[in-house]
Amino acid sequence: MPTHHQDPIAAIATAPGRGGVGIVRISGGTDLSALARALCGRDLPARQACYVPFRDAAGQPIDQGIALRFAAPHSYTGEHVLELQAHGGPVVLQLLLARCLEAAAEPDPGAPSSTTSSTWPRPRPWPT
């Protein structure tokens, strides 16, 4: 019987090499709105394509592309999904994936503050 993890999985979802468009996909059992805010600088409406800059930790653009957020159960897998469609070079995709993992470790600045610091679960690499 397969086990269901709540932790998100982050991976480059396109073939290796150069191409016109490259996709980084994050999928998991928890809401990905905080990650979308950290990467895109704003909230993303569910199931609507948004042209946004993908930002590094300092707020500088890594690339610009299309971001899509699907809230569970309204995605292909039934999980929460964040899909980032950027330019397809391997360097851009590696930078974007690294930023996803980095942003996952950051507290959500849009979340209500509490006496303890909490973050949403850190994405784990896609199993190979």
- The string of pLDDT tens digits covering residues 26-85 is 998 889 999 999 999 999 999 999 999 999 999 999 999 999 999 988 888 889 999 999
Backbone angles phi, psi at 46, to 5 degrees: -70, 140
Q: Please enumerate in sequence order all residues whose Cβ is within 8 A of that of 88, keeping only pairs 6 or more positions apart, or say none.
A: 14, 18, 19, 20, 21, 22
**pLDDT value of position 24:** 96
Instruction: Convert 10-40 to b/e letters by CB count within 10 Å (16 or more is b).
Output: bbbbbeeeeeeebbbbbbbeebbbbbbbbbb
pTM, rounded to two decimals: 0.79
Q: Establish whether the linkage from the previous residue to 73 is cis, with ω within 30° of 0.
A: yes
By the 8 A CB rule, do 24 and 125 touch? no
Both tokens assigned to 71: 């809230």
Q: Is the pLDDT of residue 119 over 70?
A: no
Q: Is the pLDDT of residue 117 over 50?
A: no
